[in-house]
Amino acid sequence: SYELTQPPSVSVSPGQTARIPCSGDGLSKLYAYWYQQRPGQAPVLVIYKDSERPSGIPDRFSGSNSGTTVTLTISGVQAEDEADYYCQSTDSSGVYLTFGGGTKLTVL
Amino acid sequence: EVQVVQSGAEVKKPGESLKLSCKTSGYRFAHYWIGWVRQTPGKGLEWMGIINPEDSNITYSPSFQGQVTISVDRSISTAYLQWSSLKSSDTALYFCARLRTSGWGNWFHPWGQGSLVTVSP
């Protein structure tokens, strides 16, 4: 099965930049997607197709792809950004979806 | 506005059956696949399967094939996730979400609010 690997946790101070990596062999060929899940809430899409931002998502959220690693970057982190972040992609068939294990972002 | 609204929390005993619902609005139901995702504290988010409301074509994750049944009722723009015999290991939070597709991937947007299922003797 296709796996995506994320660090369990990332911590930053307010106003700093948070970078959350996600690695997987297929990411050099397939798009990655990022979801934010605040405590007690449903996941929300924050980045699609590696770096596109859905409407309503602040421009401090950005995404990048450097081969087998994609990165979610949150610039000028705010307290409300404290959440779990999950990357997601599909396997080479484009049918089977997979999620990374999630990264807990703590705003110190 | 696209909305995805799920049925409420359920408490069941092992061996009982259950059917969760996922009602959508704000778009043509038949035009987008719908998916189900399980969330447990130990395993994060797990994709369970997706269904095409146009023809009820279903793709299950290998991890959930044979364990659950996904279906739709096009007349009321609603998708379902059901179990015929629950186990305590089915205790989890279940999300449904609309599937978006492009040539190089699929993703979920938006998501329902989640349905908590507790299976306990």
Contacts of B110 in chain A (CB under 8 A): 44-45
Question: Chain A contact for B112, CB < 8 A?
Answer: yes
Which spans in chain B are helix H?
Answer: none
Res A94: pLDDT: 76
A1: confidence class by pLDDT, cuts 50, 70, 90: low
pLDDT tens, N- to C-terminus, chain B (121 residues): 999 999 999 999 999 999 999 999 999 999 999 999 999 977 799 999 999 999 999 999 999 999 999 999 999 999 999 999 999 999 999 999 999 988 778 999 999 999 999 999 9
User: Chain A interface, mutation test: which of B6, B96, B108, B115, most A Cβ atoms within 10 Å?
Assistant: B108
Mean pLDDT lowest among A3-7, A9-13, A85-89, B100-104: B100-104
Contacts of B107 in chain A (CB under 8 A): 31, 33, 45, 48, 88, 97
C-beta separation of A75 from A10 below 8 A? no
Tens of pLDDT along A27-84? 888 899 999 999 999 999 999 999 999 999 999 999 999 989 999 999 999 999 999 9
* A92 φψ region: left (φ > 0), alpha (ψ -120 to 50), beta (else): alpha
SS3 A81: helix
C-beta separation of B14 from B87 below 8 A? yes
Q: How far is B46 from chain A (nearest CA, A)?
A: 7
- Identify the CA nearest to B71 among candidates B88, B61, B89, B83: B83
Instruction: Measure the CA dihedral A10/A31/A101/A93, to 10°.
Output: -170
Chain-centre distance for alpha carbon A31? 12
A21: confidence class by pLDDT, cuts 50, 70, 90: very high
Which distant-in-sequence residues (6+ apart) come within 8 Å of B75 by Cβ? none
Q: Would you call A45 and B47 a contact, using CB atoms and an 8 Å cutoff?
A: no
User: Chain B interface, mutation test: which of A97, A98, A103, A104, most B Cβ atoms within 10 Å?
Assistant: A97
Tens of pLDDT along B56-89? 999 999 999 999 999 999 999 999 999 999 999 9
Question: Chain A contact for B100, CB < 8 A?
Answer: yes
Burial class from Cβ neighbours inside 10 Å (0-12, 13-18, 19+) for residue A56 reads exposed
Contacts of B65 in chain A (CB under 8 A): none
Res A102: pLDDT: 96
